[in-house]
Each structure stands twice: as structure tokens, then as C-alpha cells.
Amino acid sequence: MKKILFFFLAISCCGSLAAENGYECWLRYTTADKSVIKSYRQRIQSITLFGTSSTIDAARFELSTALLGLLGKTIPGSNSIRDGSVIAGTTSSSILLSKNITVSDLSQAGTEGFVILSKIIDGKNCTLIIANSDIGVLYGVFHFLRLLQTAQPIQSLHIISAPRIKLRLLNHWDNLNRTVERGYAGSSIWNWHTLPGYIDQRYTDYARLNASIGINGTVLTNVNANATALTRPYLEKVAALANTFRPYGIKVYLTARFSAPIEIGGLKTADPLDPAVRDWWKQKADEIYSLIPDFGGFLVKANSEGQPGPQNYNRTHADGANMMAAAVAPHKGIIMWRAFVYSSENPDDRHKQAYIDFTPLDGKFADNVLVQVKNGPIDFMPREPFHPLFGAMPKTPLMMEFQLTQEYTGQGTHLVYLAPMFKECLESDTYAKGEGSTVAKVVDGSLDDHSLNGMAGVSNIGADINWCGHPFAQANWYALGRLSWDHQLSADTIADEWVRQSFSNHIPLVRDLKFIMLSSREIMVQYMNPLGLHHIMGTGHHYGPAPWVNDLSRPEWNPVYYHRADSFGIGFDRTKSGSNAIAQYKPEATELWRDSNDCDERYLLWFHHVCWNHRMRSGQTLWTALCMYYNMGVDRVSVMKIVWEKQKPFVDAVRFKQVSMLLDIQYEEACWWRDACLLYFQTFSKQPIKEPFVQPTHTLDYYKQLRFPYAPGN
Amino acid sequence: MKKILFFFLAISCCGSLAAENGYECWLRYTTADKSVIKSYRQRIQSITLFGTSSTIDAARFELSTALLGLLGKTIPGSNSIRDGSVIAGTTSSSILLSKNITVSDLSQAGTEGFVILSKIIDGKNCTLIIANSDIGVLYGVFHFLRLLQTAQPIQSLHIISAPRIKLRLLNHWDNLNRTVERGYAGSSIWNWHTLPGYIDQRYTDYARLNASIGINGTVLTNVNANATALTRPYLEKVAALANTFRPYGIKVYLTARFSAPIEIGGLKTADPLDPAVRDWWKQKADEIYSLIPDFGGFLVKANSEGQPGPQNYNRTHADGANMMAAAVAPHKGIIMWRAFVYSSENPDDRHKQAYIDFTPLDGKFADNVLVQVKNGPIDFMPREPFHPLFGAMPKTPLMMEFQLTQEYTGQGTHLVYLAPMFKECLESDTYAKGEGSTVAKVVDGSLDDHSLNGMAGVSNIGADINWCGHPFAQANWYALGRLSWDHQLSADTIADEWVRQSFSNHIPLVRDLKFIMLSSREIMVQYMNPLGLHHIMGTGHHYGPAPWVNDLSRPEWNPVYYHRADSFGIGFDRTKSGSNAIAQYKPEATELWRDSNDCDERYLLWFHHVCWNHRMRSGQTLWTALCMYYNMGVDRVSVMKIVWEKQKPFVDAVRFKQVSMLLDIQYEEACWWRDACLLYFQTFSKQPIKEPFVQPTHTLDYYKQLRFPYAPGN
């Protein structure tokens, strides 16, 4: 039995809440809420697990450890059914379970889902957790424990849950030297040097945390790939990780450097149509699968930002993807080919290029290929419209790529709950097949009938003790898992779950923390990128504002490219009088964007170049509205801080102080965004920053000369 | 009151020892040993602390938190004396204390020391912890707690303890980008980007851990210095750290990049005699002290391995040091000037160069300068003779530099307790003033009457949850602190303390772990560098063996420079028939080194080039002895593993498994050293590796082609 261990606090220190270092994330298993613990103790008196796999062992250990923490006493395992039995297993492992579930319920659970039933068996109150697979049992156990952690009632349960999306992945932008690209939580957790011999406890706890939210795959390496990861010594290290994750239903994937046949294969070309190259990938795949029989496949960034790819040989993305697809297909592997492309040679609006490059390839990809698409057409900005590719490639499975790490949304110092952003995208209507053709339906395969489908989050995990840096950043990891399982969950529900598990069920605390979380994304948009502004951040590190930058080697890397501020106004005309990027959407989808006088103001400057005196719906001018939003965002950070400070009696002292300090930093940085941006845009608007708006304390030159040579993640 | 918090386990999980993540190091405060707990509870019933400083607050919190863990109940604070009172303070804060201590005892405590007395006051059994300063009180509290953690009797206490060495420092080779040079425990713990606003809980726990072992200073930055650390934004960050450490008696220091006046000052020169340069340093010092009134001073690596220095301007080391000394002297700061020099232009034996460069400068350094000297003349090798500078510069305070991080002694994967190495050096007799002129007496200032004196350890700390990577590496940090307080403590005593605090007082466990620890250094020497071999490690990363390397840009970087293996034999002749480095020592000190037929065999190849058939004391040939030691080292790692495995019932499962896995890796790496070195040396000896010695499994070419592009710390 593979022992699973984790660390938890119990002793109250000097009358205050025991210090928490955040390591356990949402799997804290502290004593259950007063309102429910008596009922729980009555209804949970023994554990019966059927099956002998390492997955069932994981489930057993999780149950027993969690219940000890939640109920304050050891709940024994038992072979016999009694009042308060919790019984878990597959129907093939237990006749009892197969007798107590309907065919209908079980079939709805599918391969990974589960059913949780309250049943009276022989006069005894039992809770049954039933699935078609051992991993479904584990997921069901985690769901049951979540009910307990969130003080939910557990009588009369009849839960059927199956994931809506098949591939639910993290993407780690981790390098082999343990730096993390766009990482703000310390170094990479993968200690390659000591693998395969040393299996860090963190690897196991990583697997537990991911399994608890249904994540079933992880890409271990940076999309800016390193061919060394595909060499034998590294494959053996990867295999050790795969072995650790397997009981938790998590497959490993790697990024594939397109030029690997040259760099490590000694070939002279990486042309995807070259037989020697095709053979090299085939043999490489065979080698990988000999070590890792359930290896997931490759994630590829090609012909993007300098990465090699098929276009270097005048081949298409499909040619490249299909070559790799052929190599892994015999082993049931898949290829995720990223659509994040914008060419340094193409002067057309960056917004348009992925669509132009990829839509002609619709239907040309092999069956085991997904095209992975960022939520929006630029690059994870605080607000983007949904990516026009969604709905435009019906014959191809399109996989969602969200970014959990806060590269553009506050990095390591801002409290920003991103689920509202994810929901905004998922609920967007592409109108590809009429009304209701949401991005979610594209991604879950239901719109175009793709059984292969997926969602990925660029990880915010690092070696910091609390995994994610900012204590609240864990919520974004949590949210990605929950949404990949069920994209219909609301951001509110997910926040509610997370707060209750990560802090407590104390109702005022839950209410206040949710308030902070659910408003945080819009607040961040306001003090950084109001009214559809985007990509005006600092160069390289992307830390802080730098809307003035205009001298980078590629024009579409310059902030000025995106805001286009001039004496007339500001914003990027993407309508037909401009780049016409808007035409890549179905007309119905753009109703609220097309007319600058009638535009959803959240996207105004995304789609329109608008004069400084443009009259907003409120009657204000654009310039005044800009000043207002920047100031409002800053003020609302103060409100976040005030609400947080009220939580002092209800939160452990260490995390309370951590978040307080970070909110102070967030406030300072929000002021910095406000002041630097308004001072700069003012040089074009030539209008004052009027009362009641705050006068900047520094000059524009002050902000322009700030340097951060060691900002993290770069 | 600055809250001090830390994390500790209490609940036993499923009947096994609660999982420990190592974060608490030796400050675990688990329940006191059965044999003493009753007596402790009787003798410790209340806490009385006199004084109101943040240091006294730290002492109070440490006492109450520790006693709660050790005794299992809250020990209340009290203003009145009762049976079982623990009373701590300075005599100036408490008349009661001043009445209960003799002038003699108190004066022996000095500025930082303490007295611990068992006294009956008004018929009540009390324990008094008395000092001349609040920091002495804190040190006394930690000492008292150590007694409890190590199950020592606490009746009839009469302890007087004062540090023998004034400056007791860690040196962090941490870079501003959070990499750690020669670090094997993750990234730097200093999160510069979020300082000064975000004060990580780790900074406070770092201070506690250091205070508990008497460390009173820390150099925050790499000796390969970065001038950016001296710019205002960074000084503010450093000040925030200084504020966090101050209550714990820890001063901060920085490394000073000699060319900073050019790099950040805009000057055209860094000539230490140039008035503008001198003025720049003066102003920089004034700036630092305006932010950090008790800033310790600078540590400088100059004209060494490419670092800029006074010799770039034809000035001496003393010129450079004295310039900086003048800048900090008005603020009571000090300069630590490193003697680690060996010139790329000087073909003479590297062993000799520091002595040649520095002895002429004896007496030329300003009063507030120490010259910091590595324990040996090459560079922290598994075994080196003591540095010939010790005893050769009587007019200059020489500060010891030990290396805790295991750059050459196993890096992150080998269990090596280094205190025996430190003791070996400290107890070496320089004969500078006749017999008994030990290195320890040079370093503690008693030989040559220097009140300014110090000892430093190059830190092995990083952002890993357990601070040091290998669970046993913490013992080296611990040992450095204890030895800097009292260099007369034995390696055995220190190991005993550490094991009891870090694991338990279970006698068989203590005995076995000490056995492992105390033999580990010699075992490592045997499988890496037996018989005085040295500097035969891999290039750049220094990971693993590479005795064949002969093509680096500087000859004295090549392993072949050090072993000089040829058809005749092996070893470096440092006697008068060779480089005569031996002449830099006093003749009496070299009795056991001079004659190759009578040499202390641990140094044979350090001082002699000896033929392969040289007859050892055992009767074996040199070649056979080499084979024997390499094999013996490997076999003894197996023994370490066997002894460790026996500890399973007594050690928590996570740390047990961690160390098991690491011992397996250590065994593999020891075999690698053995096989690669013997195969290579065999090409010169042309003799077989005979039974019973193990035949290498791979060829020499196999070992030569191994590459580790991402080995840590490089």
C-alpha cells in the first residue's frame, strides 16, 4: 500500500487559531462545523472499501485521515455493514454495491464519475459511493469529503456526477533548471536532479490535491520546450513521477520541442514529412511508452515566438501535428497543438492571425489531435473577448487554455479570483450553430460531437510552502479543476466551496471572503485595464504598467500597438473601419461590440478607437470615465482590505497577516497603475485629472524610469 | 509585540508518528521524554519575564509556546514567584534577579551570555535565567529549552555560558534573482521582489532558529556580489529584514561589489585611494546606516575568480579593506575581507598564494577589519590541512569560513555531518606560539588578543520546506551555530543535542543516528577523496567525479593539477622537492606530513607524489590502498543504510522514507565515485582492481560522457 501522508495542525496555540502555512490548501480536514458534526458522527461510523488497487488504497487513506480530522476520532475500517457505514467501490468489486444502484444511475456516472447514495441497508443507514472505475471511487470519496468540509447535509444523498470534459489538465511552464516561466510561487516543484530516486512527498500531495478537484493530467514541462526532456535520463525521471501520480488518475504529458530530431536525434532536419524524422518520433514515442505505458501525449508550441515548427519546412500546423499524432496513436496517446501564433512577418492585427492560420486546417488534423486555444485572441489579458477560433473549427476538437498564474493579472501580489473570467469566456455565445453555441459547448465537445475534448490551466504552482504564493491564488487552481469537471458550476459556488474548505464555514467569513473574491477580477480590470484596454504592462517581466513602451523589436509587443493613444483618442479599431478582426466572429456574437456608441463598455477600447470626448452611456466623456475607473479600482482595493481586516478573529494569524501585507502591496501597485497610466494617457488627452480623482504623487518620468531587473517569472 | 508563530504537529495519525515536514528543524517542541516529563511539570509551573523589549517578547513567546508543546499544557505567565517559577531577565530589569546572582557569575556571562540557576526563593523552587542583556536572556531561554528537549535534568542547575567568539555569522551565497550559488535546497529564501512590504513568516522562523544556536549575524548576499544590492530600493528591502531579525539579536551584513562606485555610482574608477571613491563609500555607508542603524558591515571577495578589487588599481588588499573600513567605522561597522585568492597569472601552487599575498599585509589592516579565511588552503575539500594563514598573521583578526552547503561533500543527496571536519580544523595546532596554538585560539582571538573575532558558515539554507534539502543537512547549520558559540563542544555532543531535538530521546535511536552522523564525514572522504586526494570533481556543477578533466581555461581548475597521476604515481608534492607549500607552516605543525614514509596517510597525496607501489603502513601498495578505501567507503554507506532502516519504528514515516531514498542515491553516487576514479587512475597505475574489490559495471568512457546540464547550484 502506498502510504499517503500529509501534514495538519491540531493544537490551538495560546488560545488563537493554530498557525497555518497553507501547505494543505483545501484539504485541511479541520474539525467539522459545529452545526453538523453531531449528525456526521452519527452517520459516519465505519468505512468499507472494496477493491485492492493503489487507487482504492489512496481512497481508503484519504477517508480515514480526513474523517479523523473532521470528526475528531478514528473511524474504523470494517468488513460488515453497520449503522453509519460509508461503503465505497465499483459494482464489479462488490455485489452489495451492484445490488444497491440502478443501471441508469451507474451509466450516468460514466468512466470517471460516481454516484453517492444515502441508503438504508438491512435497517442500517449507509452512505454508498459507487463508480464504474476505481478512479471514480476516489473522485466520489473526495466529493463526499467536500460535503463534510463544507458543512453540507449528508442524509438523503442522491448525487450523480460525471465530468463534462475528458482531459482536465494542468500545464506547468516549468524549465529543467527549476525556474518557472511566469511563475510567482518560487521554483519548480519538480526536482529533476534527484529524480528518479528521490520521490518528494510534495509529488504525492500534488496528486491528492489534483485528484480532489478532478484533474487527470499534467504537462510537466514548459511550452517553450527543451529537447533534453525527451532524452532517456529525463524520461526515467518522468516515469518516476508518472508512477507516483498513477493511483490518483493523473497522466503525465510532456511538451515536445519540434526540432528535437535535430537537437537530440542527430538528424539534419525536423521536416514532418521526412521519413527519417517521422521514424525518429515513432521510436521516441515507443521509448516513452516502454517506460510509461499510459503516457498522455505531447503539448506543442510551434512557429510561435521563435519556437521551431513545421512552417520552417513550408509545412502546415496539421502536417506537424499529424506526424506526432501518428507516433503516439498506436499507444493511444494524443497531441495538443497550440494555436497561439502571431508572426513577426505578418503586419496584420495580431488578434486575427490564429484564426487565419488555423481555420483552413479544420478537419485536417488526425483524430487524436486537439488544437489548444487560449481563452482570448491576444494573450491572457485581464479582459478579452472569447477567441474567434471557438466555433470556427467544427471538425476539430478545440481545447481551452486558461491561465491560472497571474502573469497579467497581478502576479504574486494581487488577490484576484479568476473564475469569473473563466465563466465569462465559457458562457460566451459563439452563435456558431445558432443561439446557445457557447464556448463551453465547443470545449466540452457537445456542440460538434467531439468525444476527445479538454481544458487546461497554466499552473500557478511552485515550491513555496503554500504552493501558489498568494494564499488566495490556490482558489484559481481549485476553480480550474472544478470547472474542468463541470463548467456549469458558478464562480460563486466554487468560491463558496473553496472558502469553506480553506478557511471555515463561519457564515460571516464565508460571505465576506466571497465578496472579496467575486469582485476582485473586475476590480483588477479597473485599476489596470479598464474599458477594454489591454497589453500595456512592463516589458519582459510584465510587472506593473508601461503603456509608453514603443521600441521593442516586434511592433505587436509594444503597448502602444494596443492602446493606440493619440491626440484624437484611444483604442484599437477592430471593426471594418479598422483591422476588422470583429469579422472573424459570427455577426450575432458581435451585436454588443460593433457600434462604438452602443458598445458593451467593457470592450469599448478593445474594438474601437474612440475620441477623448466620446460620450459614454453615463454621460461622462471617455477621458473622465478612464479617470473614474482607474480611481474606482484603487478605492475598491481599499474596500477589499477593510473587509479582510474584519476577518481577524476568524482566520489564523499567519495567513491573516500574509493577506493583509499583500493587500497593502496590491493597493500600492493599483495606485501605481492608476497614476502611471493616467499621466501617460493625459499626454494625449491633454485634459486634467479632475477632482475627485487623485492627483498622482510622482511624475510620468518617475514611472518611466522604474526598473525591476529581478522581477520573478521572467 | 511582534508575534512569533511557528507550525507544529500534535495529532498522531493512524497510530504512527505524525508526519513531519522538517520545517521546524530542531525547534520541534514535541512532548518531553517520558523519563523527565513528570519532573519538568513539577519544576515548571509559571513563567515570569522581566523587561519590555521585543527581545523579551520573543523570549516570552518562545517559552510559552515551547512549554505548551513539551509539557502538554499552558504554563501561565505570572508576576509573583511560586513553586516552579521560571524567571528570566536582566539584573537591571529585576531587583529579584540581581539579588539572586553573584557578581562573579554575572560578569562571566559577558554581553551576550547568560546564567541559569536553580534556586530556592522564599521556600519555592525556581529556575532563574539571568543575563546582562535582553539578548542574553533570549539565548538563556533557548539553552533552557534545549535542556528540556534533550531530557536533561533541571534541578541544581548552575550554568554559566558566554560565547567564545564575537561574530557568529551565516554567509548566504544568494543572488538577487533568487538562485543560490552552490545551493541544493531550492531557491533563496529572500523574496526580494515582495520586500519590503511582505514579511514572510520564514524570516521570523529563520531568526528564531539562528537565535536558538547563538548566530548573531547574517550576510544576505553572494560573495560574487551584485552592486544592485546597494541601491536604495534594495537597501529598503534589507532594512525590512533587519527589522525582522533585530529582536533575535541578528545583524544584517551585505557583500560589497568592489566596482560598485562605477556600476551604480557613475564614477570612472573604484581606486580605493581616490577621494571621490572614498567619499562614495562613505556616503553609501551613511545611507545604509540611516536605514539600518545597527548594520553589521560588508563582506568582500576581491581580486578573486574575476571579482574586481584594489589590485585592479595596483593597490593592496589592505588599501581596499581600509577604504571600506573607514566608511563604516563611524557607525561601528566592520569589514570582513576574504583571503580566498589565487591568481590566474601566478603559476605557483594555488595552496601557497593566499599566504604569499596576505602575510605581508599583517598589521596593515584597520582595527575594524577581519580577514576571512577558509578552513583550508584550496577550497572546502572533503579533507584539507588547516589554512597556513592561521597563526601567520598575528596582528590581524582572522575569521574562520566553513562551508555548510555541501558543494564538495555530497551536495543535496549525501548524509554528511561536517562537525568532525570543523573540529579537525579547529583543533589543529599551528604552533604559532608554541604548542597549543590551535586554530581555535587564533579564531577566537585568544592567541593574539583580538577582541574582534568571528566564525562564519556558508549557508545551506534554501526555500525547501525543510530549509536544507537533506533532512540531516540541518545538523550542519546547527553545528556551526554551536561551535561558533563554543568551539570546545565536541562533534559528539553537538550531534547528541541535534538528534534529540530533531528526532527523539529514544536511546537506541540517538545512539544509532549519532553513529551514522559521526562516521559519515570519513566515509564520504573514503568514497570520494581518500588518502589526501582533492579537487577531482565534475566541472562547473562540481557534481560527481571527473578526475580526468584537464582542459579548463585555468590550470588550477583542472582535477589533473591536483592529483598529478602519471605512470610513476599520484599526488601533489608540496614538500621542498615540490611546491614547498609545506614550508608555510611552522615545522612542528608538519611533523606528520613531511616524510612520505611516515606521513599521516589522510594527507599522503595532499603533500606527496607517491609511486603506485609505495608501501603503506598496512603493507599494502598505494594502488591497493586506493582501491581499498574507495570500496570501503561504498560498503560503509551500506552500513549507514542498514542502521537507518532499523529506525523505522522510531522516526515519522515521511522523514524515514526521505532519508532512505537519499541513502540509496548516496550509495549509487558512492559507487559512481569509486568506479570512475579507480578506472581512471588505473590508466596510470596499469594495475588490476583485484578481488575483493568490485569490478566497475561501466567503462571509463561511460563515466566521461555523463552530462548534467541542470545540476543545481551552478
User: Would you list the domain boundaries of chain B?
Assistant: 32-161, 167-502, 526-572+609-704
Residue A9 has pLDDT above 50, yes or no: no
Question: DSSP assignment, residue A195?
Answer: T
Residue in chain A nearest B543 by alpha carbon: A193
B232: closest CA of chain A, how far (Å): 12
Residue A2 has pLDDT above 70, yes or no: no
A486: closest CA of chain B, how far (Å): 33
For residue B653, the chain A residues in CB contact (below 8 A) are 3, 5
For residue A187, the chain B residues in CB contact (below 8 A) are 178, 186-187, 463
> Which residues lie closer than 8 Å to B695 by C-beta, 6 or more apart?
B689
Q: Do B709 and A176 touch (CB under 8 A)?
A: yes
Q: Is the peptide bond before B692 cis (omega within 30 degrees of 0)?
A: yes
C-alpha–C-alpha distance, residues A94 and A88, integer Å: 9
C-alpha–C-alpha distance, residues B629 and B607, integer Å: 18
B236: closest CA of chain A, how far (Å): 14
Q: What is the mean pLDDT of residues A183-189?
A: 98
pLDDT at B344: 81
Query: Does the annotation count B305 as an active-site position?
Result: yes
Kindly name the residue from B271, B407, B444, B573 that is annotated as catalytic.
B407
Q: How far is CA A200 from CA A233, B465, B712, in A?
A: 18, 11, 16
pLDDT at A17: 66
Q: To 10 degrees, the CA torsion angle through A609, A612, A616, A621?
A: 170
Q: How many CA atoms lie within 13 A of A508 on its CB side?
A: 9
For residue B73, the chain A residues in CB contact (below 8 A) are none
Query: For residue B161, what are the β-bridge partners?
Result: B114
Q: Choose among A3, A7, A193: nearest Cβ to B711.
A: A193
Is B447 within 8 Å of B440 (Cβ atoms)?
Answer: no
pLDDT at A345: 85
Q: Do B201 and A176 touch (CB under 8 A)?
A: no
Cell of A133: 472505475
Q: Choose among A9, A14, A177: nearest Cβ to B7.
A: A9
B228: closest CA of chain A, how far (Å): 9
Other CB atoms within 10 A of residue A230 CB: 26
Question: Which of B655, B710, B714 to mutate: most A Cβ within 10 Å?
Answer: B710
The closest alpha carbon to A457, from A390, A401, A506, belongs to A401
> Which residues lie closer than 8 Å to B208 by C-beta, 6 or more apart?
B4, B6, B27, B58, B62, B248
Q: Choose among B5, B13, B412: nearest Cβ to A653.
A: B5
Q: Is the peptide bond before B196 cis (omega within 30 degrees of 0)?
A: yes
A184: closest CA of chain B, how far (Å): 10
Kindly name the residue from B181, B200, B274, B379 that is annotated as catalytic.
B379
Q: What is the pLDDT of residues A262-272, one digit of tens each?
A: 999 999 999 99
Topology (CATH) of B526-572+609-704? Alpha-d-glucuronidase, C-terminal Domain (3.90.1330)
Residue B6 has pLDDT above 70, yes or no: no
A668: closest CA of chain B, how far (Å): 10
Q: How far is CA B270 from CA A543, B196, B254, B285, B314, in A?
A: 33, 30, 18, 16, 11
Residue A703 has pLDDT above 80, yes or no: yes
Residue in chain A nearest B7 by alpha carbon: A19
B401: closest CA of chain A, how far (Å): 28
Residue in chain B nearest A662 by alpha carbon: B198
Which residue type sits at B268? Answer: K
Residue in chain B nearest A655 by alpha carbon: B201
> Which residues lie closer than 8 Å to A488 by C-beta, 6 or more apart?
A164, A440
Residue A10 has pLDDT above 60, yes or no: no
Is B455 within 8 Å of B397 (Cβ atoms)?
Answer: no
Q: Do A228 and B709 touch (CB under 8 A)?
A: yes
Please give the interface size between A and B, counted as residue pairs whose CB atoms are below 8 Å apart: 133
CA angle B352, B354, B360 (to 5 degrees): 105
Q: Do A464 and B463 touch (CB under 8 A)?
A: yes
Q: What is the pLDDT of residues B657-700, one digit of tens each?
A: 999 999 999 999 999 999 999 999 999 999 999 999 999 999 99
Query: Does the annotation count A379 as an active-site position?
Result: yes
Residue in chain A nearest B17 by alpha carbon: A5
Q: Choose among B187, B653, B711: nearest Cβ to A5.
A: B653
Kindly name the residue from A271, A319, A357, A407 that is annotated as catalytic.
A407
pLDDT at B15: 36
Kindly name the residue from A379, A492, A591, A635 that is annotated as catalytic.
A379
Q: How far is CA B623 from CA B277, B600, B681, B690, in A?
A: 57, 17, 9, 10
Q: Do B653 and A413 touch (CB under 8 A)?
A: no
Question: Which of B1, B2, B5 to mutate: most A Cβ within 10 Å?
Answer: B5
Residue B4 has pLDDT above 60, yes or no: no
C-alpha–C-alpha distance, residues A113 and A162, integer Å: 4
Q: What is the mean pLDDT of residues A419-426?
A: 98
pLDDT at A344: 82
* pLDDT level of residue B13 (50, 70, 90 thresholds): very low
**For A302-370, where are the alpha helices, taking DSSP H only?**
317-328, 350-358
For residue B68, the chain A residues in CB contact (below 8 A) are 11, 13-14
C-alpha–C-alpha distance, residues B399 and B402, integer Å: 10
* pLDDT level of residue B17 (50, 70, 90 thresholds): low
Q: What is the mean pLDDT of chain B?
A: 96
Q: What is the pLDDT of residues B86-102, one digit of tens each?
A: 999 999 999 999 999 99
Q: What order of strands is seen across the sheet that includes strand A46-49?
A: A46-49, A85-90, A124-131, A114-121, A158-161
For residue B464, the chain A residues in CB contact (below 8 A) are 463
For residue A189, the chain B residues in CB contact (below 8 A) are none
For residue B20, the chain A residues in CB contact (below 8 A) are 7
Residue in chain B nearest A72 by alpha carbon: B11
Topology (CATH) of B167-502? TIM Barrel (3.20.20)
In our burial notation (b when 16+ CB lie closer than 10 A, e otherwise), range B599-626 reads bebbbbbbbbbbbbebebeeeebbbbbb
Question: Which of B222, B464, B470, B668 to mutate: most A Cβ within 10 Å?
Answer: B464
Q: What is the mean pLDDT of residues B2-18?
A: 40
Q: How far is CA A112 from CA A117, A216, B49, in A?
A: 17, 10, 60
pLDDT at B346: 87
Lowest mean pLDDT among A14-23, A197-206, B155-164: A14-23
For residue A74, the chain B residues in CB contact (below 8 A) are 14
Q: Do A193 and B412 touch (CB under 8 A)?
A: yes
Q: Do B176 and A664 touch (CB under 8 A)?
A: no
Q: How far is CA B90 from CA A333, A349, B160, B694, in A?
A: 71, 73, 14, 63
Burial (0-12, 13-18, 19+ Cβ within 10 Å), A699: exposed
Q: What is the mean pLDDT of residues B209-215?
A: 98
The closest alpha carbon to A640, from A472, A421, A483, A428, belongs to A472
Q: What is the mean pLDDT of residues B72-95?
A: 96
Predicted complex ipTM exceeds 0.85:
yes
pLDDT at B570: 98
Q: Say if strands B610-611 and B251-255 run parallel, antiparallel, or are unpaired.
A: unpaired
Is B301 within 8 Å of B294 (Cβ atoms)?
Answer: no
Query: Does the annotation count A181 as an active-site position?
Result: no
Question: Which of B21, B30, B174, B411 to mutate: most A Cβ within 10 Å?
Answer: B21
Q: Do B7 and A6 touch (CB under 8 A)?
A: no
In our burial notation (b when 16+ CB lie closer than 10 A, e otherwise), range A61-75 reads bbbbbbbbbbbeeeb
Q: Choose among A13, A201, A661: nearest Cβ to B199.
A: A661
In our burial notation (b when 16+ CB lie closer than 10 A, e otherwise), range B500-520 reads bbbbbbbeebbebbbebbbbb
> Which residues lie closer than 8 Å to A493 by C-beta, 6 or more apart?
none
C-alpha–C-alpha distance, residues A6 and A123, integer Å: 36
Burial (0-12, 13-18, 19+ Cβ within 10 Å), B172: buried
For residue A465, the chain B residues in CB contact (below 8 A) are 23, 202, 465
For residue B711, the chain A residues in CB contact (below 8 A) are 193
For residue B654, the chain A residues in CB contact (below 8 A) are 5, 201
Q: Do B7 and A19 touch (CB under 8 A)?
A: yes
* pLDDT level of residue B563 (50, 70, 90 thresholds): very high
End-to-end CA distance of chain B: 41
pLDDT at A19: 75
Residue in chain A nearest B188 by alpha carbon: A186
Question: Which of A193, A220, A656 to mutate: most B Cβ within 10 Å?
Answer: A193
CATH 3.30.300.10 fits B32-161, yes or no: no
Q: What is the mean pLDDT of residues A346-374?
A: 96
3-state helix, strand, coil in chain A (%, to 5): 40, 10, 45
pTM > 0.80: yes or no: yes
Burial (0-12, 13-18, 19+ Cβ within 10 Å), A275: exposed
Q: What is the mean pLDDT of residues A533-555?
A: 97
Q: What is the pLDDT of residues B318-353, one digit of tens each?
A: 999 999 999 999 999 999 999 999 888 888 999 999
Other CB atoms within 10 A of residue A80 CB: 8
Q: Do A661 and B412 touch (CB under 8 A)?
A: no
For residue A657, the chain B residues in CB contact (below 8 A) are 3, 201
